[in-house]
Amino acid sequence: MEYLVEMKGITKRFPRVFANDRVDFNVRPGEIHALLGENGSGKSTLMSILAGLYRPDDGQIIYKGRPVSFRSPRDAIRAGIGMVHQHFKLVETFTVAENIILGDRNISFVLRPAAKERELTELSARFGLAINPGAYVWQLSVGERQRVEIVKMLYRGCQLLILDEPTAVLTPQESAELFANLRRMADDGRGVVMITHKLSEVMAVADRVTVLRGGRAVAAMTRGSFSERELATAMVGREVTQESRRQGSAEGRTVLEMRDVYALNDVGRWGLEGVSLAIRSGEILGVAGVAGNGQRELAEVITGLRPVQRGRIFLEGQDVTNLGPQALIDRGISHIPEDRLGTGLAPGMNAIDNILLKDYRKAKGRAGLIDYKAARSRTQKLVQAFDVRLAGLRAPVKLLSGGNLQKLLLARELSAEPRLIVAAYPARGLDIAAAEAVSRFLLQERRRGTAILLISEDLDEIFALSDRIIVLSGGRVMGEPLRTETATREQVGLLMMGAGGEAKAV
């Protein structure tokens, strides 16, 4: 039997979109087949058709040499095709054994639970899927729940196992373990389909790969004949440049390093508890997390607005711990604070004074007087470059809209040619155009080699701009920094909820 399953010309329309457009896809027994594509390319839909959840509008499925048409997932499972969805479907208040056997018409569990549990333990051990049949599902981590779902499919005799973005909820260690287990299932003669949008995973485990783009299968390749670059091109539909893939600048020198830093919050408790991190030149480090988990304290210790109680902060190798705000400004640290009017700008003062505010010493003429004319022309230039809409250079800045305030602040902070920018929620409250301008400025600074710490609650912003992502929760950095190219929102979300090493269930 060459193919375990063949899908031919599968088409599936949803009200506004062709989710699948004449897709051909097949799986051989004994292989791990990656189904690769960007979000919305039709991967889950295609596999949900195979697993009996959706019916195709057109096309044919040949399973073990015979045309099939599944009316429900139960139908598909009975035939030997099982899918583990992104959102698990276990019953929290049942045990692992009860969940696995649930829906199995066999009543022997009720009669002989111990024997059934033994059978499950043996089955899971065979494929390296450690589970505890007696545990309740609510007690399990996400990784454990996933193993239960997989064992459930194996228990029901599935020959073809489909996993929808299985690593999204796993730590890297759990992912490596999963891959090894999938290999055992394939070696056992089963077919394994792994849905993913991560090139690295295809490179790591796939024997073959089918690439979907915009609902169409645009490439099918066998291990040895594909490279990460070719896969990226097939997936995206054009040559992927370094810029748009935001390749990290791992070679850049370390600009900021924090070692085991402790700081108190405003009520005298630990706001930061042993934070260590490093940012390189030309790198944006995104700090994800819910505000109030040390974000403000982090920005303030780096910019000298809050004392460090323990630990050290280094700027380009020099110890700058507790140097104070002006000394840090002089050394090239810019701050885009969360309260733009409080810490950032002086509301009653005009634009020129606000631009001057930070570096009035530089603006002094030879006689020690402020060269107001020079300041005026510099402000004029910045206002133009940053497209700040204001009534006049001499009007108080409190009259500006949020977006214009933010741009004025950015103009001042960025025109200082900083080495490090600490940006807290830089796009918060801005309209789309202003938010885009802010992103553009930050990326421009990054290209110039500035190191940037980007604190944000907006995961879209974090993912769009950052090279690496850390999660701040309860004043600590959770887990290891994630590379944005391989990180998922789920991973970040789990860390935000305080999950350390093994990701805890949501």
Ligand X SMILES: Nc1ncnc2c1ncn2[C@@H]1O[C@H](COP(=O)(O)OP(=O)(O)O)[C@@H](O)[C@H]1O
Q: How many residues bind Mg ion (CB under 5 A)?
A: 1
* Residue 415 binding target from ligand X, Mg ion, none, CB below 5 to 8 Å by type: none
**Nearer CB in complex with ligand X: 82/475:** 82
In the bound complex, what is the minimum distance in angstroms from residue 48's beta carbon to Mg ion? 9
Q: What residues pair up with 274 in beta bridges, in sequence order? A: none
Nearer to ligand X, 170 or 285 (CB): 170
Amino acid (1-letter code) at residue 183: R
- The answer for residues whose C-beta is within 8 angstroms of residue 319's C-beta and 6 or more apart is 312, 313
User: Which residue sits closest to Mg ion, CB atoms considered?
Assistant: 44
User: Pick from 195, 194, 193, 202: which is nearest to 229 by CA?
Assistant: 202
Q: Shortest Cβ distance from residue 39 to ligand X (Å)?
A: 5
Q: Which does 37 bind (CB under 5 to 8 A by kind): ligand X, Mg ion, none?
A: ligand X
Residue 212 or 221 with smaller CB distance to Mg ion: 212
* Spatial separation of the C-alpha atoms in residues 208 and 195, rounded to whole Å: 12
- Select the binding partner of residue 123 from ligand X, Mg ion, none (C-beta < 5 to 8 A, by kind): none
Please state the closest distance from residue 196 (CB atom) to Mg ion, in A: 10
Closer to ligand X by Cβ: residue 490 or 502: 490
CB of 48 to ligand X, least distance (A): 7
Question: What is the CB neighbour count within 10 angstroms for residue 209?
Answer: 27
Q: How would you class 368 by CB atoms within 10 Å of its CB: exposed for 0-12, middle for 13-18, buried for 19 or more?
A: exposed
d(CA 355, CA 379): 7
Provide, rounded to whole angstroms, the least separation between the CB of residue 43 and ligand X.
3
Q: Which is nearer to ligand X, 14 or 138 (CB)?
A: 14
Residue environment code for 217-232, b if the CB has 16+ CB neighbours within 10 A, otherwise e: bbbebeeeebeeeebb
Which does residue 42 bind out of Mg ion, ligand X, none, counting CB within 5 to 8 angstroms by kind?
ligand X
Which of ligand X, Mg ion, none interacts with 14 (beta carbon under 5 to 8 A by kind)?
ligand X
Main-chain dihedrals φ then ψ at residue 189, nearest 5 degrees: 100, 0
Residue 212 vs 352, nearer CB to Mg ion: 212
# chain residues binding ligand X, by CB under 6 A: 12
Nearer to ligand X, 237 or 501 (CB): 237
Task: Rank residues 195 and 287 by Cβ distance to ligand X and give the closer one.
Answer: 195
Q: Which of residues 14-73 bind ligand X (CB under 6 A)?
A: 14-15, 17, 19, 37, 39-45
Cα–Cα distance measured from residue 202 to residue 304, given in angstroms and rounded to the nearest whole number: 45
Q: Choose the one of ligand X, Mg ion, none that binds residue 311, judging by a C-beta under 5 to 8 angstroms depending on kind.
A: none
Q: Which of residues 78-117 bind Mg ion (CB under 5 A)?
A: none
Which residue's CB is nearer to ligand X, number 183 or number 216?
A: 216
Closest of 489, 194, 242, 468 to residue 232, by C-alpha: 242
Our measurement of the distance from residue 312's CA atom to the centroid of its chain's CA atoms, rounded to an integer in Å, reads 29
Question: Which token pair is 27?
Answer: 């799986």
Question: From the CB of 26, what's the least distance to Mg ion, in Å?
Answer: 20
Residue 45 binds which entry of Mg ion, ligand X, none, with Cβ cut-offs from 5 to 8 Å by kind? ligand X
The reply on whether position 196 binds ligand X by CB under 6 A is no
- Cβ 43 to Mg ion shortest distance, Å: 5
Contact flag: residue 44 with Mg ion (CB under 5 A): yes
Inter-residue contact 319 to 487 (CB < 8 Å): no
The owner of tokens 């970040």 is 492
In this structure, what DSSP letter does residue 340 have?
A: I
DSSP per position, 359-419: -HHHHB-TTSSB-HHHHHHHHHHHHHHTT---S-TTSBGGGS-HHHHHHHHHHHHHHT--S
Binding site for ligand X (CB under 6 A): 14-15, 17, 19, 37, 39-45
Binding site for Mg ion (CB under 5 A): 44
